[in-house]
Structure 1
Amino acid sequence: MSEDHKKQLEQQLWNIANTLRGKMNADEFRDYILGFIFYKYLAEKMENYANSILQPDGLQFTDIDENTLEGQEYIEAIREEALEKLGYFLKPSELFSAIAKRGNHNAEETSLEQAADTTETYNTKHNFILEDLQKILNNVQNSTMGTESEEDFDNLFEDLDLNSTKLGKTPEARNEVIAKVLAHLDKIDFQLDQTELDVLGDAYEYLIGKFASGAGKKAGEFYTPQEVSMVLAKLVTTGKHKLKSVYDPTCGSGSLLLRVAKEVEEVNNFYGQELNRTTYNLARMNMILHGVHYRKFDIKQEDTLEHPQHLEHRFEAIVANPPFSAKWSANQLFMSDDRFSQYGKLAPSSKADFAFVQHMVHHLAENGQMAVVLPHGALFRGSAEGNIREYLIKEKNYLDAVIGLPANIFYGTSIPTCILVFKKCKEHPNDILFIDASEHYEKVKTQNILTQAHIDKIVTIYRERKTEEKYSYVAPIIEVAENEYNLNIPRYVDTFEEEEPVDIEAVATEVESLNAKLKENETLIASFCKELNIKTPF
């Protein structure tokens, strides 16, 4: 996509956000916009696919008259094909463009802002669409009933409450807002016929990023900044061109999984688990929005630690940004769980960081690589966490690298974080690489970000596995053992900057000179005071 086109796209998306801004908070209007973007995507995908089927007949999908016997025969034939290929079906009258035009029926005569001022306007112009729009969203899900894609489309639009009073106190007011949003979206060309572009994906990521940064922890808790996602993805795909599987046990909106796919030629299957229902819905939408076939992803909604959904699977690549120092039950029954039993101790109930690490290690294939973001404290906290660290390094020798990240790069928290990289079959079994990238960032307003140069340096040092003064150090395992498996990065990477020596004699000479000038000034001021017949200030 050209830079101009991208700016136009972002401006239009921002206009939509402004239509809803003030009516609800950022994470709520994000859900509405993303839900409608998803509907638009499904509709355009459906129309393009139907047109390809109808091409030999010289017809377009929107030419079909749904009220005729011939039209119904066409629709039924297309429905069967679409459910197999796309996993869902929409009729011509249910397409996004059709409902958007109906909602703004009088837009040619009046501006969008003036449209539908009163109940009479809606009734006379026939542009009241709320009820039909709700039926269409329900029909998307209903079309999948009894098919392979049923679970992937189940309740995808449940967060899109068209009757919410936050959109407006009356049905007419809500209709006006929804009509405006659909009109703005209808102007955006997602260019689905140009397979090398991902305009819709870019729009989705722009909105997620903007609203996460604007809504604080509630919106940001499931969003990993793209720069961090890129680092994680490049780490776990080092030496790989194709992946059988990628897994994220706390997948949020799925951005990390999709980022991994951008680093390789092909990913056969995507797996994820997410606790938050709304975010789980976004993750499934995100997969479909980015062209991942419904048969190639398996996203589950449940608590990953308490109720894991993919225990039988082992994955070639695993990435995660778990909630920092989250609470979990740490129930002693987990001591008989294969994920935790061999370590002798459970992660503390107040900090689940290493419980997530243990869960991920359990799922890691023998030829796999995993990278997880943790709070900095996980590197050196003692007690049970210290025991788990020691076991992972001393008994299993799975830890491959420790990377310190700058503080304040995640939305909603300013704490410093790190990345731990694990492999079950290490190419370098006798050492662990430490990278201190904590002071390598660019400040943008109140947020710190990693630039492309910062990302490239981290990845290059990791792949070349080299020691660089004040940045990285390849530590022998024996040295880590001598430090009692404390992974605090300053123990291994010395970033101390020695200050220039102070020339005391020069400083004394300068002070003496300043004192002399001060006395001259005092004498001058005293003479002025005497002339003015006023008291000398000293």
Structure 2
Amino acid sequence: MTTTIQFQTQVKSLIDDLKGICSNYGLGNDGDEYKIITQVFLYKFLNDKFAYEIKQLNKDLDTKEPKAWQAQLKAMSDEDYEFLTLQLGASTAVLQRHHFIAHLFDIQNTPDFAKTFDDTMMDIAIQNNEVFAVKTTGGSKEPLFERISEIVETSERNAFCKAIINKLVAFSFEEIFNEKYDFYATIFEYLIKDYNNDSGATYAEYYTPHAVAKIMASIMVDEKENVQNVTCYDPSAGSGTLLMNLAHAIGEDKCSIYSQDVSKKSSKLLRLNLILNGLVHSLQNIIRGNTILSPYHKKDDGSLMTFDYIVSNPPFKLDFSEYRDDLDTKANNERFFAGIPNVPKKKKSAMAIYDLFLQHIMHSLNKNGKAAVVVPTGFITAQSGLDKKIRERMVKDKMLAGVVSMPSNIFATTGTNVSIVFLDKQNDGKVVLLDASNLGEKVKEGKNQKTVLSEVEEQKIIDTFNNKEAVDDFSVVVDYEEIKAKNYSLSAGQYFEVKIEYVDITAEEFETKMQSFDKDLNGLFIESRRLESEIKSNLKKLKYES
């Protein structure tokens, strides 16, 4: 029996091999490489998941010989095969017998194999479109797969697809379908690590560090509460790291995921993440589109949906000048209560779009809702503008639970210092302000420096916040009135006590110290006059020589 660690190594090796094939055909680090790697990986996963579930349903299938059960399925009548597939749960994609990887392996030397390969994947996508497609705000559906062989040079397509199939057929996921979040989180992070970098032009493209996601989920979800049938939302979901951590903390079977993100790539990665983590039931709620301009999730009366839990790592700065004026409508007055950032005369890319996401999130919380949002640390201390207005509303409406200021470079892809703002519509009491900026170890990640928190440090942050503890030079617990008195600053450091140490000394010791200071000062004055005289002399000399 393969251990979990061994299987993780094998899966990573498969991913590396697939990347090697792409490299051999001129697609290494190509913009389309992620499409090939993620779709081929997903095809293999769905193929093996189908096999695993079919074997659970039909115990008469011969599983001792690798291909025996497939031969038995092939020999079934169409009616019997359809009846068997109808018993599958909704989380399992339905495959026909000619969709199996083993079948493609057997016919790999036929003419136009690349077309057969693409047709197979497209047919799987079409037959499972109802459950597995991602919707757009425009109402269209984006299927599971694309024709990936068309990315390759025409003369090399057959060989490319054969190389893929030969790599997939020798591997099986069937041993790990009972694994849980921690296993799949590791695999997913490895799978997308080269494809989920900050592009500077789309929402939440960069991967949120696991430590940040874990802290957010662990503070939001009270383990003592029996949470059931709750809604979880991310308006800038990216690849879904935050949502996966939140769903795992609650229980994947106890929540429904809702999301929106403008990036086509991010939506594809999020879909893959949901499938790996047993959240297929939420795929219908995954939307690709512009949350700020066209929020999708609405109630029957047309108003925006509200949610039990919201997590988000929104883009901080982004040029949205093209549609900025379209947001300034009466319908948006309540959602964007603090206002909409103006278009700067220079550097439009510096427009603070995170202010819009924060306001949207506050508006999207239900009466018992909780949220955790990553913001630039400058937000928590700004003395004017939208930042301050938003903080004032958090205090006025008594929805602020606290702030955790993270170490610098917690994200390897950005040097911006970040904090996590926690909201809780039920928090009418104390607010925790925590400064974790001195924690962590600096490590090199590629060309960038990154700060990594240890598990002990992560737990220290979580426990201190959840227990509402005041720890010297680390955390304070304040009320809303104290925050008002500090001009709504949410920086823990501004609330720390200034410590003055007193030392008892005798009158003689005091006199001796004063004489010593006086002597030192006289010496400094003498040296100063000497240097001044020397400088003047040199200046005169230079003037005479010139």
Q: TM-score, normalised by structure 2?
A: 0.76
Confirm or deny that 1:355 pairs with 2:362: no
Map of 1:63 onto structure 2: 71
- For the residues of structure 2 that align with 1:177 and 1:497, how far apart are their CA atoms? 71
Q: Quote the residue 1:72 is aligned against.
A: 78
Asked if 1:237 corresponds to 2:221, the answer is: yes
* In 1, Cα distance between equivalents of 2:495 and 2:170: 55
Question: Alignment partner of 1:305: what SS?
Answer: coil
Of 340, 344, 355 in structure 2, the residue corresponding to residue 346 of structure 1 is 340
Measure how far apart 1:482 and its partner are: 1.9
**8 Å Cα contact 1:287/1:297 also seen in 2:** no
* Match of residue 474, structure 2, among 471, 474, 477: 471
- Which whole-Å deviations, capped at 9, do the CAs of 1:416-455 have from their partners, x for residues lacking one? 10100001110xx343211111121122212222221221
Q: Which amino acid aligns with 2:222?
A: T
- 2:254 aligned to 254, 258, 267, which one? 267
SS in 2 for 1:448: strand
| Residues 480-503 of structure 1, C-alpha deviations (whole Å, 9 max, x = no match) | 2122213344323479999xxxx9
What is the CA–CA distance in structure 2 between the aligned matches of 1:454 and 1:27, rounded to whole Å?
Answer: 37
Q: Which AA in structure 2 matches 1:274? A: D
Deviations 1:184-239 (A, max 9, x none): 444443235651356555422222235446x8768982421212111111122135
Matched, 1:399 2:400: yes
* Alignment match, 1:255: 241
Q: State the 1:64 CA deviation.
A: 4.3
* 1:161 and 2:148 are equivalent in the alignment: yes
Instruction: Name the CA shift for 1:75/1:191 in 2 (closer, same or farther; >3 Å).
Output: closer
2:127 to 134, 143, 153: 143
What is residue 98 of structure 1 aligned with on the other side? 103
| Secondary structure in structure 1 of the residue aligned to 2:239 | coil
Is 1:451 equivalent to 2:434 in the alignment? Answer: no
CA apart distance, 1:459: 0.6
Percent of aligned pairs with the same amino acid: 21
What letter is aligned with 1:245?
A: T
- Long gaps (5+) in structure 2: 300-304, 344-350, 502-512, 521-546
Q: In the superposition, relative to structure 1, how do residues 150 and 272 fare at CA in structure 2: closer, same or farther (>3 Å)? A: closer
Task: Check if 1:180 corresponds to 2:167.
Answer: no
The residue number in structure 2 matching 1:442 is 441
Inter-partner Cα distance in structure 1 for 2:179 and 2:274:
17
CA–CA distance in structure 1, aligned partners of residues 410 and 270 of structure 2? 22
Task: Give the deviation of 1:37 after TM superposition.
Answer: 1.1
Bigger shift: 269-278 or 384-393?
A: 384-393
Superposed CA RMSD: 3.5
Residues 241 and 210 of structure 1: CA distance in aligned 2, closer, same or farther (over 3 Å): farther
Which whole-Å CA distance do the structure 1 matches of 2:200 and 2:107 have between them?
A: 38
1:223-267 CA distance string (max 9 Å, x none): 212121111111221354434111111111122211112213343
Compute the displacement of 1:303 (Å): 0.6
Unaligned segments of structure 1, at least 5 residues = 104-124, 510-538
Q: Shift in Å at residue 144 of structure 1? A: 3.1
Partner of 1:122: none
* Residues 188 and 435 of structure 1: CA distance in aligned 2, closer, same or farther (over 3 Å): farther
Which residue is 2:115 aligned to? 131
Are the aligned partners of 1:347 and 1:385 in contact in 2 as well (CA < 8 Å)? no
Q: 1:100 to 1:42 in 2, by over 3 A?
A: same
For residues 141-190 of structure 1, what are the alpha-carbon distances to aligned partners after superposition, in whole Å with 9 as ceiling and x for unaligned? 22135x5656579433455632114xxx343x233344334434444432
Distance 1:342 1:163 in 2: 44
Verify the 8 A CA contact 1:30 1:207 in the aligned structure 2.
Answer: no
Aligned to 1:44: 48
Tell me how many residue pairs correspond in the alignment.
471
Change (3 A) 1:463 1:13: same
* Deviation by residue 1:14-48 (Cα, 9 ceiling, x = unmatched): 23323334624266323321111111111112222
- The Cα offsets for residues 249-290 of structure 1, whole Å up to 9 and x where unpaired, read as 111112221111221334331111111112112212221222
Closer/same/farther in 2, CA of residues 344 and 3 from structure 1, 3 Å limit: closer
Q: Aligned partners of 1:221 and 1:315: how far apart in 2? A: 23
Q: 2:172 aligns with which of 182, 189, 205?
A: 189
| Alpha-carbon offset, residue 302 of structure 1 | 1.0
Match of residue 31 from structure 1: 35
Give the aligned partner of residue 388 of structure 1: 390
CA distance change for structure 1 residues 197 and 148 in 2, over 3 Å: closer, same or farther? closer
* Residue deviations 1:380-420 (CA, integer Å, cap 9, x gap): 33223222221221x21211101111121224211110100
Task: Quote how far apart the aligned CAs of 1:465 are.
Answer: 0.8
Answer yes or no: is the 8 Å Cα contact 2:49–2:174 preserved in 1.
no
**Is the 2:99–2:124 contact (alpha carbons within 8 Å) kept by the matching residues of 1?**
no
Q: Which deviations, in whole Å up to 9, do the C-alpha atoms of 1:90-148 show, x marking residues without a partner?
A: 12221134335654xxxxxxxxxxxxxxxxxxxxx448631111111111122135x56
Structure 1 residues 46 and 364, CA, compared in 2 at 3 Å: closer, same or farther? same
How far, CA to CA, are the matches of 1:495 and 1:29 in structure 2? Answer: 55
1:308 to 295, 300, 306: 295
> How far, CA to CA, are the matches of 1:35 and 1:362 in structure 2?
36
Which position in structure 2 is the counterpart of 1:299? 286
